[in-house]
Structures are given as structure tokens and as C-alpha cells.
Chains A and B, each alone.
Chain A
Amino acid sequence: MSMSTIHDIGYRHYDGKRLGRAYTVRSLFVHNLRAAYGIGRPARAKVMPFLLGALMLLPAAGSVAIFAFSKEESALIRYSSYTSILQVVIAIFVATQAPVLASRELRFHVVPLYFSRPVGHLDFVLAKFAAMAVALLALMATPITLLYVGGLVSKAPDPADQLLRFLGALVGCVLFALVLAAIGLVVAAFTPRRGFGVAAVIAVYMLSSTFVGIIQGLAESQTNFALAGWAGLFAPFNLVDIVQVRLLGAKSTSVSIAPGLQGGVVALAVCALLVAGSIAVLYRRFRKAGLS
């Protein structure tokens, strides 16, 4: 017979309201979204995201100003092209902010602290993913909205058609945000060392777009336009542009676009695969990091 006993030393139980899973996910989402723009952190962390945001707005503001004075419809940048034209700025945003969301907790080995609370692994990853995607959506949709509102105020012709194209471009932006968040977070989650995450994400963007650009140039000089179009699937901005052109009725901005409706469907499937794969990989990565 054991002599050990449990003494009641008067700790109180928690009888209050449990806030539940939705509250956890919402808190994590808000925290990560704020982190993506450096809000609630020192000024040093805010400089880059807001500078890049300003860089994104600059051409839109200039375009609206020129249109207001000259009334030349060509001065307004096409909504669906805006993201592709400024893809370099967006890629730098992904590269600098994805490591903030995906590598910092890994670098300082604090992931287990999250999972010692009732936070599900999948919820944790989904909140991060959604925060990154929404941060990117804000970055891309704000200048397009400025373009649309600016055009509306200065009486751009054919408002019904403008609205339709604006909404189409917004859907495109959502897709851009999802695909870029998927790629950026996965790469950043595997390069926790400071500075390396940024370089790795931008390397994936630069190498893929340059590689695809060279292949497309060669294929077009051989008049193999089908190959040039399909090669676009391997560069993130070109991939989403294929969906925009083939399924959303936008005009092409990229060098080459995969042919026909099937091109758009295949591109959309690749996007979906990227997002699902990214969430699966992130889930495994953070679950493993949470054990140590």
C-alpha cells in the first residue's frame, strides 16, 4: 500500500467561459497579419512593408493623375496587368515578409510554446497562411482599387465595363495572393537563418521567371508557341496570368500564355495543387518543430 497522498492546497479551477477554437484561430490570424506589416513592432520592422506598399501605389497614383489631366484612356494602367507589371516589388514583399511569418518562431525555437496550449497544428498553419495571403491581397488590391476609384471620379468612359474588369482583376489578385503565399511560406519555413530566408524566396522567384523567360524566347524563335505557352506554368506570375487570361477574360501581359480553355483549367489546377501542397508541407514542418 502506498503512503503517498494528494493534498488539496487550494488552487482554484477555471470555471469561466472557454473561448474555443474559432477564437484561437482568429487571434493567431490577427497577430500574424499585424506582424506581416510590422504593426505592434518597432519602427524598423515597419519601414520595409510600408515602403513597398508605397512603391506599389506610386504608378497607380501617377496613372490616375495623368488621366485626369489628359483624358487619354491609354494613360490608365489595365487592372489585370498591374500585378504583373509590378511583380518585382510584390516578389520583394513576399521575400521580406514570408520569413517574418514562417521562420522567426522556428529560428528561436518557440513553436512548442504555441502547441503547449490548445492550439491545433492545422489551425496554426491555416492562420499563418491566411494572414500572409490577406497581407498580399491588401498590397495588390489597394492600388487597383485606387485606379478604379480614380478612373470613376475623373469620369473614365464605359463604367459598367470598368466595374466588370475591376472585379475580374480582384479575383485575379486573390489567386495571386494564395499562390505567392504558398510558395513564400514553404521556402521561408525551411530556411530559418536570418537573411537566408529572404534570399531563398527571391531566388525561387528570380530563377523561375528568368528560366521560363529564356525558354519562352527560344520556343517563340522556333515558332513553337504551344511550348512557350505551357512553359508559363512554371513561373508564379505567369501561371496566375494564364488563369486571368483564359478564365477571367483579361488581356495578356505575360510573354506567352498557354492555349485555349484547357490552358486556364490546367493553370488553375496547378494553383490549387500549390496551395494544398504548401499547407500540407507547412503542417508537417510545424508539427515536427512543435515536438522538440
Chain B
Amino acid sequence: MNATIAMITFRAMLGRRRALLLFALPLVLILLAVGLKVTGLADLEVSTGVLQRFGLATLLPLLALIAGTGVIGPEIDDGQIMYVLTKPIPRQVIVLTKLAVAIVLVTAFAAVPTLLAGLLMSGMTEQVAPAFTVGVLVGGIAYSAVFVALAVVSRNAVTIGLLYALVWETLLGNFAPGAKSASIQQWALSVTDVLTGATTVKSTVDLAVAVPLLVAVTAVGTLLAVVRLRSLAVASAE
């Protein structure tokens, strides 16, 4: 970990108007939760549905994509990464610091709002709120590692990430159940499934399979990012 790199990255992610985007996304979830609570519609089934569809399946991949690619992608694109790479700092320290920043951002803007929305809608019933928070957190760590690696490997990281999150996990998941099981979203849901007693949360993947897969994806993503950052070809900005 390197405090200076972390600080610069935080400033790049949260400076000026950019923070507005990061604040606006979870705000929609909180507003939805408040609206459902006020109208008295927030029973257990509705609140698990909202947390799953909005928190886990929409907010989490979106924020992980913004944070994961945003911490390193723009710097590589405009060549500023050279000023960091030419300092005597090991590449794994750079990658781990960037990854840590991404995870902190996902925690602050996806996991915490999920907890708040869950508590607002259903309190502590069946442990729904903490279960989804843990699910979003572990999913967020895996997503962040994958998207940081993508940003180091490809210039089209954001688009590839979107193709994975939307086309693979959502569109193909509806037609081919196999594609659904091979997704970070389902593995995170599996963790949530075990932690809550609510029967409306149903994952297609066993916990014994999901946890090793989450750990493996995170480790492979981090390793790939370190290896590719060792021999990074820096071209001029397009």
C-alpha cells in the first residue's frame, strides 16, 4: 500500500463533478426504499426483490465498473501512469493500492447504501439487510479485481466490462441457465442466500462452489493486473 498513490487516486475519482455520479446512483436505491416504506409496500418479498434486482444486479456491477476501471484506466490512457511507474515502487504495490481504493469506493457507494436500504425496508427481519450487504461486499471485491485487471489489459475495458455484466450475466442468463451460474452476481447471491432465512432469495450456485470461485477470480484478476503492469506499453492518448 502506498498512501500517496491512494490519495491521488481518491482525488481523481471524487474530484469535481465526478463524485456526483457516484452519489446519484446509490441515492436512487435509497429513494426507492424510502418510497416503498412510506407506501407500506415493503414486505419481505418486495424488499428482497428490490435489494437483489437493484442492489446486487444493477448498482453493484455499475459501481464496480466505474470504480474498478476508473482508478487506473484513464491514467494509462493519457500516459500519466508513467510518472508512477518510473518511481521505485513495486508494481504489485501500485496494483494493490488501486484495487484497495476501488474496493473502498464500492463499499462506500454500494455496500453501505444496500445496508441502509435493507434496514429501511425490512429492519433486521430474517437478517436480510446484513446478508445482502455481505453479498454485495464480496461480489464488489471480486468485480473490482476483474475490472482493474481489464483496465490494465485493454483500452476497451469499460465496454468489455459492460458486455460481461449486461450481455453475459443478464441477457444470456435469461436464455441459458449455464451462463447464469458462471457469473459473479450468482456467486455473491449464493453468499447472501446462506446468510438469510428469507426463502425468496434463491441462488443457482452452491456456497461450497461459490466461495472458492470468488476467491479464485479475485486472485487471478489481481495477479493478471500485476503481471501486465510489469510490461505495460504506454502509447500516446488517442
Contact = CB atoms under 8 A, between A and B. Distances in A.
Nearest to B25: A203
Given A92-B167, A193-B74, A194-B74, A214 B54 contact: yes
A217 B36 CA distance: 13
Interface in B23-78: 24-25, 28, 32, 36, 41, 46, 49-50, 53-54, 57-58, 62, 65-66, 69-70, 73-74, 77-78
A44 interface: yes
Contacts of B171: 88-89
Interface stretch (B86-94, B153-161, B194-202, B205-213): B153-161
B66 A196 contact: yes
A193 B18 CA distance: 9
B162 interface: yes
Interface in A233-278: none
B62 A195 contact: no
B170 interface: yes
B158 A199 contact: yes
A92 B53 contact: no
Contact of B41 (A44, A95, A210, A218): A218
A45 B238 CA distance: 10
Nearest to B66: A199
A89 B62 contact: no
A210 B238 CA distance: 34
A207 B58 contact: yes
B167 A89 contact: yes
Interface in A165-218: 190-191, 193-196, 198-200, 202-203, 206-207, 210-211, 213-214, 217-218
Nearest to B65: A199
B217 interface: no
A217 B74 contact: no
Nearest to A41: B238
B82 interface: no
A208 to B, nearest CB: 9
A222 to B, nearest CB: 8
Contacts of B77: 194-195
Contacts of A198: 158-159, 162
A217 B57 CA distance: 16
B52 to A, nearest CB: 10
Given A88-B166, A89-B167, A218-B46, A196 B54 contact: no
Given A92-B159, A96-B159, A211-B28, A195 B74 contact: yes
Contacts of B50: 214
B7 interface: no
Interface of B: 17-18, 21, 24-25, 28, 32, 36, 41, 46, 49-50, 53-54, 57-58, 62, 65-66, 69-70, 73-74, 77-78, 155-159, 162-163, 166-167, 170-171, 238
9 contacts: A44-B238, A48-B156, A92-B167, A194-B77, A195-B158, A198-B162, A206-B58, A210-B54, A214-B54
Interface of A: 41-42, 44-45, 47-48, 55, 88-89, 91-92, 95-96, 190-191, 193-196, 198-200, 202-203, 206-207, 210-211, 213-214, 217-218, 222
